[in-house]
Structure 1
Amino acid sequence: MALSPRGAGNRFSATIWPGFVDAMTALLMVLMFVLTIFMVVQSVLRDTITTQDSELDALSTQLAGLAEALALEQARASDLEGRLTGAEALVATLGADLAASRARIGEYEAQVAGLLAARAADAAAQAELQARLQGSEADLAALTLALDESRRKAEETLTLLAAAEAARRELEGAATQKSTDEERLAALLALAEQKLSQERLVSAEGARKLALLNEQIAALRAQLGALQAVLDESAARDKAAKVQIEALGAQLNTALAQVAAEQRKRADLEEAERKRLELETKDLARYRSEFFGRMSELLAGREGVQVVGDRFVFSSEVLFAPASADLAPEGRAQIARVAALLTELAGQIPPEIDWVIRVDGHTDSTPLSGTGLYADNWELSQARALSVVRYMTGSLGFPPARLAATGFGEYRPVTPENTPEARAQNRRIELKLTER
């Protein structure tokens, strides 16, 4: 009975263990499956991230390219704006270039003249340097000959010294053998020593002269080198001057051609303008003739109004009261007739003719009191002319751009006489058809 519980436990253990192993196996399989899924997902995510990074890099590259293209387009636009500004500035300066080209022509001519003068001076200096060079070469040749002569004399002196030394040695040897000739040999020895001393002095003088000749030759060679450098520099300047003269000549020809073209163009424009002005003058003269012809017919027999040349004259007594600038009724009527005729004539004048009716006010030389509305005759004449103009524009509807009011005071008299009749003639209003 005691063995029964232990057997039951063994049976329970034997029953649990396979299940546990199966559970662990299933758990391991699940873990392996989860790890496998995780690895697959991680691989897929890595590939996706790598692909997205590649796409992002490509997009960044495209964005950089687009930014660079945008910068290039902006730079191109800025360059085009700068070129446009430069072109406008160039167009603005073309007119100034013509005047500058004329000034440059004078400068080129002065420079050419200066270069020619400098070239002539360089040629003279070059000739002088060549003459000095030839003289220096002759001096060098003479010094070379003198040096050769000095060397020859030095060699002869050295030969004599060697012979004297040999003779002295022979005399010394002979003195040991022949005692009877000692006095003669001593005399000969003294003579030889004297000659030797003289030859040494001559040799020293020759050496000094030789050194001096060498110094002179070196100085002459340096001078020749300097002269040659000056000649080379002069030749280079001459060549540069020739090139500059050719360049200035080409620029001068170009400038002359431009000036000639501009002068021809200006002459053509002036001729066209002259012809146009002649035509306009003829047309205006024709209209003026027609105008004054009809005005003469219109004003014939009217007191205080007359046609004088290319203008018609109103007496101030007809238009204004004394010392007044207000138009009288009779003056308004006469101005209205003239304005109607002018309006009819204005419709016939071509628009290209810039015409104007000038209203001139004149007074006599009698000074005003200065206490009235006008300080002097000048103000009175101006006020009367302006009164006529304002009446024509305000009441009669005449174009203001075709009218001009001027006052001359007493400074444009018809007659200088100081009589009542003359003063009456000088007090007037004149209307003249003219160009602006």
Structure 2
Amino acid sequence: MIGSRRRTRSTVNVWPGYVDALSALLMLIIFMLLVYVVSQLYLSQTLSDRNSELARLNQRLSEISELLGLEQSKTRALEQEMASVQDAYSASLARLENTRERLMQQTANAEAQAERLQSMDQALGEKEELSDSQQNMILRLSNQIASLRAQLGQITAALRLQREMTAEKESELADVSRRLNTLLAERVNQLEQYQSEFFARLRNILASNENIRVVGDRFLLPSELLFASGSAELGEEGKRELDKLAKLLLDVAEKIPDDVDWILRIDGHTDLVPINTPKFPSNWELSTARAVAVVRYLAAQGVPERRMVAAGFGEFFPVAEGTSPEALQKNRRIELKLTDR
């Protein structure tokens, strides 16, 4: 009996269970593959739409840049025209004033001569008639006075017309000034837009490093992150952080129009502990050399040199007061700021 029971258990067929399990596993794998393929198709379509939208935005930015360039050309032409008109107007006014003064002097002389003749005429009051020469002289003087007064009237009318023309030109100049102010405001708004984008993206990139601080619109990198103590040679960790900065800056710079005059300021700061070595006689040299080292490294990564400026401030602009190790560490820093020239 015991032997028959063993034979019965051994003859049980377990393969159908294995086949069902393998079928279920195969169906699950096929389902996961379908989900993966569909998600890849959706992601590809989304990326394609995004690239198309970016292409349209870049084209629109190019058109706006061209329009701004045309407006600037027109503005410069108007400024040159206004300058020439103002010069001509000033020269014309000077000539008219000189002519008017000469005519007034001539008129005064003629009137003085007429008064003298009148006094002579009164002195000869006892005579019934003047001599022919006196009468001719009085006639000539009267004609001269009339001519001078006519010329003075013409000059006065010309001055009035010139003032009216000047008022029109001043109105045009005011309009040009308003347009220039509008363009300037647009440039400022554009730069602020790219400053905000640069600031936000750089903050996200450097957020993993707790030593990097943000103060206002500036990024403060501790000197220990970039340089060894008393040195202006970049370390490997500092180069890695600057690589992130260079990549981001090049990406943002491609979007900024060429006529927006922006720069990246790199400021070097030290603590108040003095240094005196053959290479760095004071903190001025050390802070400046560190700022220049950052500029040179970014330039080697492709950042345009004309878009960067390096400055050394020594120990004279601390961000933390006192002589504690924490205050000294905060004051040893490199500051980065995207701004206008």
Normalising by structure 1, we get a TM-score of 0.50
- What is the CA–CA distance in structure 2 between the aligned matches of 1:250 and 1:98, rounded to whole Å? 16
Identity %: 36
Residues 116 and 343 of structure 1: is their aligned pair in 2 closer, same or farther, counting only changes over 3 Å?
same
| Residue 236 of structure 1 pairs with residue 144 of structure 2 | yes
* Alignment counterpart, residue 209 of structure 2, candidates 298, 302, 309: 302
Residue 269 (structure 2) aligns with: 362
Q: Is the 8 A contact 2:107 2:149 kept in 1?
A: no
Alignment RMSD? 3.6
Which residue number corresponds to residue 162 of structure 1?
none
How far residue 112 of structure 1 moved from its aligned partner, in angstroms, is: 6.5
Question: How many pairs align?
Answer: 261
Alpha-carbon deviation of 1:332? 1.4
Q: 1:424 to 1:232 in 2, by over 3 A?
A: farther
Q: Are 2:307 and 1:402 aligned?
A: yes
Is 1:100 the counterpart of 2:8? The answer is no
Which residue of the partner structure matches residue 386 of structure 1? 292
Distance of 2:164 and 2:84 partners within structure 1: 13
SS in 1 for 2:266: strand
Structure having the larger proportion of residues in helix: 1
| Equivalent in the alignment of 2:177 | 270
Distance 1:346 1:400, change over 3 A: same
Shift of 1:368: 3.1
Q: Distance in 2 between matches of 1:234 and 1:412?
A: 82
Q: Does 1:419 align with 2:326?
A: no
Q: 2:116 aligns with which of 129, 138, 146?
A: 129
Larger RCO, structures 1/2 (Cα 8 Å, 6+ apart): 2
Return the letter of the residue paired with 2:262: W
Structure number with bigger Rg:
1
1:282-313, CA deviations, whole angstroms, 9 ceiling, x for partnerless residues? Answer: 12212211221222233336233112222211
Q: C-alpha displacement at 1:314, in angstroms?
A: 1.2
Pairwise CA distance, 1:105: 4.9
Q: For each residue in 1:150-182, what CA deviation from the matched residue of structure 2 results, as whole angstroms up to 9, or x when unmatched?
A: xxxxxxxxxxxxxxxxxxxxxxxxxxxxxxxxx
Helix, strand or coil at the partner of 1:321? coil
Given that 1:299 and 1:306 are in contact with CA atoms closer than 8 Å, whether structure 2 keeps it comes out as no
Change in CA separation of 1:342 and 1:264 when aligned onto 2, cut-off 3 Å: same
TM-score (norm 2): 0.62
Q: CA deviation at 1:260?
A: 4.6
Alignment of 1:156-175 (within 5 A): none
Gaps of 5+ in 2: 1-79
Contact 1:359–1:403 (CA<8 Å) still a contact in 2? yes
- 1:362 Cα offset (Å): 2.5
Runs (5+) with no aligned partner, structure 1: 1-92, 145-219
Superposed counterparts of 1:203-352, under 5 Å: 225=133, 229=137, 232-233=140-141, 235-240=143-148, 242-243=150-151, 245-247=153-155, 249-250=157-158, 253-254=161-162, 257=165, 259-260=166-167, 262-300=169-207, 302-352=209-259
Where in structure 2 are the equivalents of 1:66-81 lying within 5 Å?
none
Residues 32-78 of structure 1, C-alpha deviations (whole Å, 9 max, x = no match):
xxxxxxxxxxxxxxxxxxxxxxxxxxxxxxxxxxxxxxxxxxxxxxx
| 377 and 252 in structure 1: CA distance in 2 versus 1, 3 angstrom threshold | farther
Letter in 2 for 1:433: L
